[in-house]
Amino acid sequence: MNSLFQAAFEIQKTLKDKEWPFCYIGGLAVIRWGEMRMTQDIDLCLMCGFGKEER
């Protein structure tokens, strides 16, 4: 498995274990939906809701 995808998998496991809602965005998400592109990072959005940032 590509090291970028392996890292994304590890992040996903951690966030799911904590029950933190998230979604991948950016180049990694574009690759998932069928458009190849060169990327060397993982972008994600952690959905904490307004006013709950400290939690």
**What domain range includes position 32?**
3-46
The C-alpha angle 50, 15, 20, rounded to 5 degrees, equals: 30
Q: Do residues 27 and 41 make contact, with C-beta atoms less than 8 angstroms apart?
A: yes
pTM score of the predicted model: 0.73
pLDDT in tens, 1-55: 589 889 999 999 999 999 999 999 998 888 888 878 788 899 999 988 777 777 6
Number of domains in the chain: 1
Q: 10 Å Cβ neighbour count for 20? A: 11
CA–CA gap between residue 14 and residue 6 (Å, rounded): 13
- Evaluate whether residue 8 is within a structural domain: yes
- Evaluate whether residue 53 is within a structural domain: no
Positive or negative, the CA dihedral 37, 3, 22, 12 is positive
Cite the beta strand spans of 1-55 per DSSP E: 22-25, 43-46
